[in-house]
Chains A and B, each alone.
Chain A
Amino acid sequence: EAQVTQNPRYLITVTGKKLTVTCSQNMNHEYMSWYRQDPGLGLRQIYYSMNVEVTDKGDVPEGYKVSRKEKRNFPLILESPSPNQTSLYFCASSGTRAETGQPQHFGDGTRLSIL
């Protein structure tokens, strides 16, 4: 089954304790992206990756890091989490073609609470 898998699904942690949210896709997609979803704000893009070792900032990258060492994995790293990073996070992937734009496949989300 084609899917995007995120772990953990839920996490409660404390300010300053480094954490990593993993994301893996089994569709051989080149493009992967991280979003955060907050009430009334929709989804905002944090980082995206066009292919292995190629990443770029989205609209809200502050406080986050990513890496793309393998095509299937795109972890989101919070080096020193703060309460304003409490949110619902989604990972997504899509294939790429010559023209821009393809629908993205989303994981089921990771709810982070940072106290």
Chain B
Amino acid sequence: GESVGLHLPTLSVQEGDNSIINCAYSNSASDYFIWYKQESGKGPQFIIDIRSNMDKRQGQRVTVLLNKTVKHLSLQIAATQPGDSAVYFCAENTGGFKTIFGAGTRLFVKA
């Protein structure tokens, strides 16, 4: 079936280091991808998005990379801070208005 998944359920990094969170998707027709951050007790919060006609997009301290050849998406967080500790989800729009989320990766930032 079509799914969005993550390679690592938990990631632990040292404060100040860069973090990379990976995501694999299986629907080659998906044209829009989003990363969300979810803190404890809250709903997911938009971080950054990318459309299928792009390979890379940068925001403030975050970069999303899209490799359509291998159906892979990654989120890079530069100079990771304690406030970055959360669960991160990738999501894809499969065409129209349906959205599929990955299972999530929990990021721990060690001080």
Q: What is A's interface to B at a CB cutoff of 8 Å? A: 4, 31, 33, 35, 40-45, 48, 50, 56, 58-59, 90, 92, 99-101, 103-109
Q: Which of B31, B89, B91, B95 has the most CB of A within 10 A?
A: B91
Stretch binding the partner chain, chosen from B10-18, B63-71, B101-109 = B101-109
Nearest CB in chain A: distance from B91 CB, A: 8
Q: Which of the residues B42, B46, B51, B104 comes within 8 Å of A104, measured between beta carbons?
A: B46
Do residues A100 and B97 form an inter-chain contact, with CB atoms below 8 A? yes
Q: How far is the CA of A42 from the CA of B34 in the complex (A)?
A: 14
Do residues B43 and A109 form an inter-chain contact, with CB atoms below 8 A? yes
Number of A-B contacts (CB under 8 A): 64
Q: Is the interface of A mostly helix, strand, loop or mixed?
A: strand
B100 at the interface (CB under 8 A from A): yes
Q: How far is the CA of A73 from the CA of B96 in the complex (A)?
A: 21
Q: A42-B89, A101-B34 are in contact. List 12 more A-B contacts (CB 8 A).
A: A33-B99, A42-B104, A43-B101, A45-B98, A45-B99, A48-B98, A59-B98, A59-B100, A90-B43, A104-B34, A106-B45, A107-B43
Q: How far is the CA of A33 from the CA of B93 in the complex (A)?
A: 13
Do residues A101 and B43 form an inter-chain contact, with CB atoms below 8 A? no
Q: Which residues of chain A come closer than 8 Å to B97, judged between CB atoms?
A: 31, 33, 48, 50, 56, 100
Q: Which residues of chain A come closer than 8 Å to B93, judged between CB atoms?
A: 100-101
